[in-house]
Homo-oligomer: A and B are copies of this chain.
């Protein structure tokens, strides 16, 4: 009956948006900590503590707990904390649900070898596309996306390849939500312009990212569909604009569209009506 007012029991100082459901504080903090560690490449205890706003002793206790499970590793030389194998193992199972990764391997190897450019596979998430695997070439100058990195829908080959086959209103909603940040001079920052671009993509079956994300880098991509004809991922070949010239595009584009088609079939997907 006493203190019928606010809840002294509640979570401590920060945020307290009060709308979030009951959460486990220590777990919340631990995940934030893990995310912080994964963003840097090696952090000392003090850095972790600073980045997470947690007292060193608390951060330390969390790190050692995570360490027992192999979620983080401690590098003696340099006293650095890194993400561990277990985290990778657990995270990798995210892909198992999308059996695409395994099925696309051969196709990607073939593409990369034939054209001597990096082949990438990315899956569609709510607000971004996430690169999940790639096959590299041995060219000294080449594109590289670390698995797990994400790309913007409006300024990536795979993103546009996927958008092109989504219902118009869904495209508009997505764009409204994520915006069209200008990464380079060539980024398409206008909704109407992007829609025109997507129409062309849909018509020919493959998309091109012409230095829209990184200057000097081009990227040719095609969508992969699930059994409902919905685009759920994309295959792309990326490299320096110097090599992916306008002359080779007419060859590359159809080749990638075909390769993506092969993957669509292998996961029992089907092209849209």
Contacts and interface: CB of A to CB of B under 8 A. Distances in A.
Contacts of A82: 94, 97
Given A26-B24, A27-B27, A89 B130 contact: yes
Give the copy number: 2
Nearest to A102: B228
Given A91-B89, A126-B138, A96 B146 contact: yes
Interface residues of A, number: 66
B24 A30 contact: yes
Contacts of A97: 41-42, 73, 82-83
Contacts of A54: none
A62 B31 CA distance: 12
A88 B27 contact: no
A93 B31 contact: no
16 contacts: A21-B68, A22-B61, A27-B30, A30-B30, A31-B71, A31-B86, A35-B86, A41-B97, A85-B265, A88-B98, A88-B227, A89-B91, A89-B150, A91-B94, A92-B148, A105-B228
Interface of A: 20-24, 26-28, 30-32, 34-35, 38-39, 41-42, 61-62, 64-66, 68-69, 71, 73, 82-98, 101-102, 105-106, 125-126, 130, 132-133, 138, 146-150, 167, 227-228, 230, 265-268
